[in-house]
A and B are shown apart, each in its own frame.
Chain A
Amino acid sequence: MFRKVTLAAAIGAAFVAPVPAIGADDAEVQKIRDEIKELKDGYETRIRQLEQRLEKTEQSPAAAASAAPAPSAPASANSFNPAISLILGGQINNLQRDPGTYQVGGFIPGGDGVGPGRRSFNLGESELDVAANIDPYFSGFFVLSITPENEASVEEGYVQNTGSVPGLTVKFGRFFSGFGYVNEIHAHAWDFVDLPLVHQAFFGGQLQEEGIQARWLAPTPMFVEFGVETGRGANFPGSERNKNGANAGMIFAHLGDDVGISNSYRVGASYRMTKAEDRTYDDVDSIGTPVTNAFTGDSKMWGVDFVWKWAPNGNTVDRNFKFQAEYLHRTEDGSLAFNTAGPNLSDAYRSSQSGWYMQGAYQFMPRWRVGLRYEELNSGNPDIGLVSSGALTAADFPRLAENDPKRTTAMIDFSPSEFSRFRLQFARDEARFNEADNQVFLQYIMSLGTHGAHKF
């Protein structure tokens, strides 16, 4: 009897699901519901019976003692309190050249995440992470960063909804842009002390967006993800514009999969455009007078990224290897104003610049990793209207002279546990014009509180 009903239910469900209620009369449906409920109730009784039976069969005293009382369900982190974690970091920097003179030569500077930091002992950024589900629809994430200069900044603060539409994840607020791979990763999870040079040159550090991001994951066995992002675009290479509407737009896509048991990868491509208005920077003119120049125009960027991870049998504990590479290209098209405080001459400006890095980190035994990174940038030779018209000379824009910055970095790190890490890093940084800087960093990263989960 029961079998017949469920068969009817199966057939019913098959047709009813997409086109609700064809034929099945209410009484029949109610009957099926009742039977399912009965079945559920039956199970609960049976769990109890089974437990009693198991208790009876336990004869060994050791086993009997094992039924130690345990809470019926593990409390989620701190009951209703959010999961909180704190990252403490710091380093000793030994820099051959004065960090005050640091520049990525050939690139219009911007942002405050550029350069190797200060000499001597440094407290790094302390990072406070708070996360929790808000209600059945939203979860919230908040990352407060406190600089060694005692300035607090909201690194990320966003609300996320996942799965309201299958495969769709939407977040809004302030967050690290989904451009490329490393930009979304928090500093404490980087494989080196600092960001790649190309991110320092093109984003002035880690690109934050204030806006909204949507990602859609395709229902395929392979990882196929598409995303769009839009927002304020006030951060370098954009600028504050005092206008309604969005000032930046981005699209990106990711593909990823496993190759056998031991290997997995993700590739991605991103395209972003934003606008800058009077984005100023400091330079000196041909006779050595400090001047402030300003760019106004479009900044368009595209990039590709690739991550490959290997671990024997997929077991990352003993040995694993991670390879990561990104290529970024940026075109800026608009006008460049010279000495805005003085004559304020302005004419067309166009640059086409690129940069890439590749790096590998190898854990050769538990706790120990070594890493190597190589990177190159190409500033190209920007078309400066003021120079080609003869109004000024190239010597009036020394920061925009052609340059091919390079950097080679090696590191070794030791992690006493999952929550602590020490790292020694050596870099030969050739970002300045015709000058190499040898840099040594000794860094610690410690995490307190909730056990964080790491993205791929």
Chain B
Amino acid sequence: MNRWKTFTGALALFAMCSPAFAAVNIFACLPEWAALANELGGDKVSVYQASNALQDPHHIEARPSLVARMRSADLAICTGAELEIGWLPVLLQTAGNQKVQPGQPGFIAAADFVDRLEVPTRLDRADGDVHPGGNPHIQLDPRNVAKVGLVLTQRLEQIDAGNAAYYESRGKDFQGRWAQAIPRWEKDAASLKGLRVVPYHKDSVYLIKWLGLVEVMDIEPKPGIPPSAGHLSELVGRLKGGAADVIVRSAYQDPKAATSLAAMTNLPAVELPYTVGGTPGAKDLFGLFDDSIARLKAVKK
């Protein structure tokens, strides 16, 4: 009897105290959003990163561990625009968590807050795995990261009002450093303007547009369709006449196609981090852009 009393007392105490000490649990679908959440949330948040930079963001397995983490999340931040359509809906439907359902303050689809490129005017699977909401790989334009950051700060302040001032000052600090970094990157990458690139998948469009590069063609014949040997030899023919300067590939993609195309065309091939953690240099969001630009400049010489 006495023991039972102590137990219920402890439980009540725990229930009373926990809101004050519990960090905001953030479920970040992708590494870039996990990095952003850590920048903006500091030690007031606990971030679970659902995938890493070496995993194709379209094809993450809806693993039991992800469902379990979604269950306890106070906030989920994903790209949206159907990038995670193969796995996120399963997590949301089976986790039993209302806080992170679309439409709630605890759910952020980052792509909703930026201007998306390549919004298709024609929706047909004959064109490959197209995303009706436009190209979802938005994190490679730092101006998009800034916008998503403002939304995330605002949501954190809403969800965890007690720490609003903390998020406010952390947000200001990040946005300030970010606003200084953008012109620095642009200046640094000025020499890259007009560089003709051949990416594997249409996942560096935002970087290409931001830095003024030119996307000559993609290695994939259509989004999500791997290139066949025949398609590769056709590409070789089209690239032989000096139509492009460099072949680029994201860290999560199998290097085979890009490497063999580079060998057949004598063009340099460069691996870009694509997201935080994709290369040793891309340790955080700043490193992502530092390293992407440095790697492109290294092959430009």
Chain A residues at the B interface, C-beta cutoff of 8 Å: 2-3, 6-7, 9-15, 17-19, 32, 36, 39-40, 43, 46-47, 50-51, 53-54, 57, 59-63, 65-75, 77, 136, 139, 160, 162-169, 215-224, 254-258, 261, 264-266, 309, 311, 313-318, 366-367, 416-419, 448, 451, 453-456
Contacts and interface: CB of A to CB of B under 8 A. Distances in A.
B65 A314 contact: no
26 contacts: A9-B162, A11-B20, A18-B15, A19-B16, A39-B157, A40-B158, A47-B151, A50-B175, A51-B147, A71-B133, A74-B134, A77-B132, A163-B96, A216-B96, A223-B65, A256-B63, A256-B65, A257-B68, A266-B64, A311-B61, A314-B61, A448-B125, A451-B82, A451-B86, A454-B86, A455-B62
Nearest to A258: B65
Contacts of B161: 6, 9, 13, 32, 36
Contact of A257 (B64, B115, B179, B211): B64
Contacts of B109: 74
Contacts of A54: 143, 146, 182
Contact of B225 (A9, A309, A417, A451): A417
Contacts of A167: 71, 95-97
Contacts of A36: 157-158, 161, 164
B71 A219 contact: yes
Given A43-B150, A224-B68, A314-B52, A6 B98 contact: no
Nearest to A449: B125
Given A217-B71, A451-B85, A453-B90, A313 B162 contact: no
A73 B110 CA distance: 10
A418 B96 contact: no
B16 A18 contact: yes
Given A67-B115, A217-B68, A74 B93 contact: no
Given A451-B82, A454-B86, A456-B64, A314 B55 contact: yes
A417 B147 CA distance: 34
A259 to B, nearest CB: 10
B52 A417 contact: no
A316 B59 contact: yes
A167 B20 CA distance: 22
A6 to B, nearest CB: 4
B69 interface: yes
B81 interface: yes
B252 A315 contact: yes
Contact of B182 (A57, A317, A448): A57
A220 to B, nearest CB: 6
B94 A14 contact: no
Nearest to A51: B147
A73 B112 CA distance: 5
A218 B97 CA distance: 11
Given A257-B64, A456-B62, A75 B98 contact: no
B193 interface: yes
A53 B182 CA distance: 12
B231 to A, nearest CB: 13
A318 B116 CA distance: 28
B101 A453 contact: no
Contact of A163 (B16, B98, B125, B143): B98
A93 to B, nearest CB: 29
Contacts of B150: 43, 46-47, 50
Interface in B57-86: 59-65, 67-69, 71-72, 80-82, 85-86
B168 interface: yes
B216 interface: no
A453 B157 contact: no
A163 B100 CA distance: 10
A192 B236 CA distance: 39
A268 to B, nearest CB: 10
Contact of B153 (A43, A73, A165): A43
Given A15-B16, A18-B15, 9 more contacts: A12-B162, A47-B147, A61-B212, A71-B119, A256-B63, A264-B61, A264-B64, A456-B63, A456-B64
Nearest to A70: B116
A417 B117 contact: no
Interface in B178-227: 179, 182-183, 186, 193, 209-214, 224-226
A264 B60 CA distance: 12
A15 B162 CA distance: 12
A60 B97 contact: no
A371 B11 CA distance: 50
A12 B164 CA distance: 14
B173 interface: no
B65 A453 contact: no
A72 B168 CA distance: 26
A77 B134 CA distance: 13
Given A162-B94, A456-B63, A13 B19 contact: yes
Nearest to B54: A313
A134 to B, nearest CB: 13
Contacts of B99: 163
Nearest to B84: A453
A32 B164 CA distance: 11
A132 to B, nearest CB: 12
Contact of B117 (A32, A50, A68, A220): A68
B174 interface: no
Contact of B55 (A2, A13, A75, A315): A315
B209 A221 contact: no
Contacts of B211: 60, 63
A1 to B, nearest CB: 10
Contacts of A40: 154, 157-158
Nearest to B16: A18
Contacts of B212: 60-63
Q: Which 9 A-B pairs give the minimum distances between C-beta atoms?
A: A256-B64, A74-B133, A10-B162, A14-B20, A223-B64, A66-B209, A163-B98, A62-B212, A223-B68
Contact of A162 (B64, B72, B98, B183): B98
B89 interface: yes
B65 A74 contact: no
Contacts of B65: 221-223, 256-258, 264
A351 B183 CA distance: 78
B117 A261 contact: no
Nearest to B252: A315
Nearest to A15: B16
Contacts of B96: 162-163, 165-169, 215-217
A218 B15 CA distance: 17
A309 B168 contact: no
Contacts of B134: 70, 74
